[in-house]
Structure 1
């Protein structure tokens, strides 16, 4: 087995690893590597929201406009299409796009037809909400974990290179241990989310400034290949508990340091649901995320239910799991909202924004 931290980023530790030197994982796990050292991954949530009669149709129409923009020069190497009904009842359709190179993303975003569309006065009057949440983590601030190496998701697709089996997984604290920066930096948060332009609501453009060491996690499940008892146990036992935990983070997450959470369903190009879901959330810090995962009843129930199902089946699971985590510097975050309600995305975490 090898370390999740690539050799060129390994250094003498000033902070101890959570996993012991003689630790052996209970099951195999893999991570992905950047295509070249020093690379910055770009993850962009490009979304539209609609409410009222015809909301699904209007959101789908908006998503088609976003998809068309991704076909322009220097478009992403991978994108996922997703559907989510938020806490205010708005239909959200989101393309989550990935670039393995920051320069390519900047060229795409700055093309006149892309930039002009986003800035056009019509975005304030077309009856839809639009948002862009852009994350640009450097290699030492980003990690992935996959339960299988042969079907990558999200940023793993953009990175493209799969490790051998890794040591740092299967124990509390392994998420932090996979982040190269954790060797020498505890990554404490500093500063606060701040609205630097506009006020949430109709006819408004809003920009939010993130703070140092804000954490993002996308954690997903693919049950496409499951069948029989495994499929039944996932759909009837695991998924309802998972959904309840995601609902807690959506509705009450600010009490545990979670600014916002979306539990999203993949859809295909026609809008038809696919048997894949994921939660994507923003956190005040990696420590807050760890504390919820290790001790809060909602996550303890998710983990406990999953382990009971695994033990009951006693077979190699076809359920595929993955996650990606970024702990972001202040200048690695861009949040912009047009015509969006005040609980959209990171706005939900801005004290007094509504």
Structure 2
């Protein structure tokens, strides 16, 4: 049994784990392992939003960012997903991952200028970037043989890890939690740069991407997931999207992952920005919407046991203030981190 925290990031604890040293989790889970030379990762979300049928400018933007992602200094991995937001806007997000900040920096400025630097007819664009040191980041996978998100750029996967299947495991997997409470500091502020709106968030902002992959399931298991689990998950995701601000969730997107040809895959993920890891933990542990999600998932997994083919994963980052970048152009005022600040029409 391994620790989720890699050996080179282990330090003497001043803050204790939620479980004793001899804790044995009831089922296996795994984490991504970066090479020790990787000190920081980058996750960059490029979004486009519009109403109704996709205007030509949206199609053009998506082709442009795909081309940018394929450039020499582009991401080591990227994917694309879609959802309809609380204002009824179709939103398509392309997210790229890097393990080299110098490579990202060389790539980013011209791509930023092209993405939010000009108006696109009938289209809003946004960029949301985190570049955390790996000590501020954790992942968890139900299976070690298929990666998603930022784990796709890691050097490999761990063996079975100890810190999971209990409330508090998410925090215990983040190396910085050994010595730091990771409490939020400050309040989000809006900065205007012409037509661009930039949000300066605050220290220890939290991001979670939590995904489901049912592409390997057979008919009966797929029906069980889609009939009994997914509707409960969607209800919780919609709550965070529409009412999350009151409990510390600035924004939530429940996304359908798209295949290379633009069709919808049998994968989804929720991606949300939180005021703090503690706020995310409170929702996960005690809010009725997540209690129902957890209950439906446990019933599903207990029914199927080891034969379950559903794959689950997540990645969680608690980012320092200088590891964040949020910029929006012609987006409605509840888009992403704009929801965290009071905005008026430009």
Q: Which TM-score band applies after superposition, normalised by the shorter structure?
A: over 0.9
Q: 1:164-243 residue pairs with structure 2 within 5 A?
A: 164-198=159-193, 204-243=195-234
Alpha carbons 1:60, 1:271 under 8 Å: kept: no
Instruction: Give the whole-Å Cα distance in 2 for the aligned partners of 1:230 and 1:189.
Output: 41
Instruction: Give the whole-Å Cα distance in 1 for the aligned partners of 2:240 and 2:344.
Output: 19
Alpha carbons 1:60, 1:93 under 8 Å: kept: no
Instruction: Give the whole-Å Cα distance in 2 for the aligned partners of 1:15 and 1:104.
Output: 35
Which of 297, 304, 309 does residue 288 from structure 2 map onto? Answer: 297
Instruction: Indicate the residue corresponding to 1:135 in structure 2.
Output: 130
Alpha carbons 2:55, 2:122 under 8 Å: kept: no
Report the secondary structure of 1:55's partner residue. Answer: coil
Q: 1:231-310 residue pairs with structure 2 within 5 A?
A: 231-310=222-301
Alpha carbons 1:250, 1:261 under 8 Å: kept: yes
> Would you say how many aligned residue pairs link Structure 1 and Structure 2?
345
Which of 100, 110, 114 does residue 117 from structure 1 map onto? Answer: 114
Alpha carbons 2:333, 2:343 under 8 Å: kept: no
Report the secondary structure of 2:185's partner residue. Answer: coil
Instruction: Give the whole-Å Cα distance in 2 for the aligned partners of 1:100 and 1:343.
Output: 31
In structure 2, the CA distance between the partners of 1:125 and 1:94, relative to structure 1 (3 Å rule), is closer
In structure 2, the CA distance between the partners of 1:27 and 1:129, relative to structure 1 (3 Å rule), is same
Q: Which runs of 5+ in 2 are unaligned?
A: none
Quote the offset at 1:68 in angstroms: 1.3
Q: 1:314-353 residue pairs with structure 2 within 5 A?
A: 314-351=305-342
Say if 2:35 is the partner of 1:40. no
Instruction: Indicate the residue corresponding to 1:156 in structure 2.
Output: 151
Instruction: Indicate the residue corresponding to 1:2 in structure 2.
Output: 2
Alpha carbons 1:56, 1:91 under 8 Å: kept: no
In structure 2, the CA distance between the partners of 1:57 and 1:91, relative to structure 1 (3 Å rule), is farther
Quote the offset at 1:60 in angstroms: 3.6
Instruction: Indicate the residue corresponding to 2:98 in structure 1.
Output: 99
Report the secondary structure of 2:307's partner residue. Answer: coil
Quote the offset at 1:347 in angstroms: 0.8
Alpha carbons 1:141, 1:328 under 8 Å: kept: yes
In structure 2, the CA distance between the partners of 1:58 and 1:352, relative to structure 1 (3 Å rule), is closer
Instruction: Indicate the residue corresponding to 2:302 in structure 1.
Output: 311
Q: 1:42-81 residue pairs with structure 2 within 5 A?
A: 42-52=42-52, 54-55=53-54, 59-81=58-80
Alpha-carbon RMSD across the aligned residues, in angstroms, is 1.6
Report the secondary structure of 1:279's partner residue. Answer: strand
Alpha carbons 1:76, 1:98 under 8 Å: kept: yes
Q: Structure 1 length normalisation: TM-score?
A: 0.94
Quote the offset at 1:353 in angstroms: 5.6
Report the secondary structure of 1:124's partner residue. Answer: coil
Deviation per residue, 1:118-142 (Å, 9 max, x gap): 464xx22533111100000101000
Instruction: Give the whole-Å Cα distance in 2 for the aligned partners of 1:174 and 1:160.
Output: 23
Q: Which moved more, 1:255-264 or 1:310-319?
A: 310-319
Alpha carbons 1:59, 1:91 under 8 Å: kept: no
Q: Structure 2 length normalisation: TM-score?
A: 0.96
Deviation per residue, 1:266-317 (Å, 9 max, x gap): 1112210000000000000000000000000000000001111122223421
Instruction: Give the whole-Å Cα distance in 2 for the aligned partners of 1:164 and 1:310.
Output: 21
